[in-house]
């Protein structure tokens, strides 16, 4: 559900050697992927992925943007703004989507915050999905030494399993299902269904199935059903509270909340304690079928107990029109007085 006046942007992540460039190359060759802009970022002074991708197809606008890892996020919004300007001036062919391939060593969370919240990006582009390539052969063993593998999977919306011909992927898939993810069982399936870079997430599909209490190397996904009323004042108070209380340990927040004061349905998102302007819908019928309606909030967190997040939820019930900002102690005192 991308606005017609905005260009969808996909973030492609995955660890070194997982097969990101292989997936991207094959995707660019598939029907319907013409007019795709690709931003490649690599570690080191001599890039190779851009040369490999350049051989894949002539229907690609390829920019070498350097490393866009967490230490250099400013380059991303500048690159996308420049890309849009060149498109508007006719200096490059028109493109229908952008795919950003991150460095295998990068933490994708800062880049995701740029895509969701930077004004130079959100004016012309709309975040579509984070796709993570997971290596069936090495993921489970490597994640013990490289914690960034867990982080890359935790912020993803879609997982593509690579190297299924070299290893049994079932243990990996079982492990990843704890995080409310949309899993594509193999790279070949990603091309067959032709949706991996062509179908943006809807608010409902981005939340995944309702699962809780699954262990994932200190990272766990919790799903809540906040009761009404939820207010805009409550959303503001809750997001400030959890940002202060949990910070970057609250890796990803996604939710659908009906706001009592306006009747709107808000699709809310946050990454590592940074929250972005919600997308607003007039009614549930604009988003989901009847049986799927109702408030829901998915929190993916590292080393946070479910009860600690649940204890913050009463902040969502802050009365409309209230300029409230609570600490956990103040919220608990407020609850005790009611």
Measure the CA–CA gap between 12 and 99, rounded to whole angstroms. 7
Q: Which residues pair with 60 in a beta bridge?
A: 36
What tokens does 28 get? 């660019």
Q: What is the fold, at CATH topology level, of the domain defined by 219-337?
A: Hypothetical Protein Yjia; Chain: A;domain 2 (3.30.1220)
219-337: same fold as 7-201? no
Please, how many CA atoms are within 13 Å of residue 118, restricted to the half-sphere of its CB? 18
Q: What is the pLDDT of residues 139-166, one digit of tens each?
A: 988 887 888 888 888 888 888 898 888 8
Measure the CA–CA gap between 195 and 218, rounded to whole angstroms. 31
Nearest to 303 by CA among 218, 215, 178: 218
Does 3.50.50.60 match the CATH number of domain 7-201? no
Per-residue pLDDT of the chain (338 residues), as tens digits, is 677 788 999 999 998 888 888 888 888 777 778 788 888 765 443 343 443 333 334 434 444 433 344 344 457 888 888 888 888 888 777 888 899 888 777 788 888 998 999 988 889 999 998 999 999 999 988 887 888 888 888 888 888 898 888 888 888 888 887 766 778 776 666 666 557 887 777 766 667 654 444 444 578 888 899 988 799 999 999 999 999 999 999 999 998 999 998 889 999 999 998 999 998 988 888 877 666 788 999 898 888 999 999 999 999 999 888 877 888 888 887 877 76
- C-alpha distance from residue 244 to each of 235, 241, 249, 270, 312 (Å): 14, 5, 11, 13, 11
Domain ranges for the chain = 7-201, 219-337
pTM of the model: 0.82
Measure the CA–CA gap between 178 and 156, rounded to whole angstroms. 12
Planar angle of CA 177, 247, 172, nearest 5 degrees: 15
Q: What is the pLDDT of residues 89-98, one digit of tens each?
A: 887 778 888 9
SS3 content of the chain, % helix, strand, coil (to 5): 35, 25, 40
């Amino acid at each position: 559900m991308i606005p017609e006046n905005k260009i969808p942007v996909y973030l492609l992540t995955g660890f070194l050697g997982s097969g990101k460039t292989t997936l991207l190359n094959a995707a660019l060759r598939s029907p319907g992927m013409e007019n795709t802009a690709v931003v490649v970022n690599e570690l080191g002074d001599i890039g190779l992925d851009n040369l490999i991708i350049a051989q894949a197809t002539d229907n690609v606008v390829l920019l070498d943007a350097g490393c866009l890892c967490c230490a250099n996020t400013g380059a991303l919004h500048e690159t996308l703004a420049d890309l849009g300007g060149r498109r508007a001036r006719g200096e490059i062919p028109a493109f229908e989507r952008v795919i950003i391939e991150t460095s295998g060593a990068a933490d994708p969370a800062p880049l995701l915050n740029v895509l969701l919240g930077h004004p130079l990006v959100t004016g012309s582009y709309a975040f579509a999905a984070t796709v993570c390539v997971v290596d069936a052969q090495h993921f489970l063993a490597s994640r013990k030494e490289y914690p960034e593998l867990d982080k890359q999977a935790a912020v993803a919306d879609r997982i593509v399993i690579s190297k299924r011909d070299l290893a049994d992927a079932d243990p990996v898939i079982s492990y990843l299902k704890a995080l409310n993810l949309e899993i594509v069982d193999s790279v070949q399936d990603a091309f067959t269904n032709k949706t991996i870079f062509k179908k943006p997430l809807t608010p409902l599909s981005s939340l995944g199935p309702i699962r809780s209490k699954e262990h994932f190397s200190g990272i766990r996904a919790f799903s809540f059903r906040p009761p009404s009323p939820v207010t805009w004042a409550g959303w503001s108070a809750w997001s400030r509270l959890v940002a202060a209380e949990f910070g970057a340990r609250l890796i990803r927040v996604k939710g659908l909340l009906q706001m009592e004061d306006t009747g709107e349905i808000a699709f809310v998102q946050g990454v590592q304690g940074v929250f972005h302007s919600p997308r607003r819908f007039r009614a549930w019928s604009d988003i989901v079928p009847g049986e799927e309606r109702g408030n829901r909030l998915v929190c993916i967190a590292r080393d946070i107990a479910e009860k600690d997040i649940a204890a913050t939820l009463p902040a969502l019930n802050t009365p409309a029109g209230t300029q409230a900002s609570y600490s956990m102690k103040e919220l608990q005192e407020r609850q005790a007085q009611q």
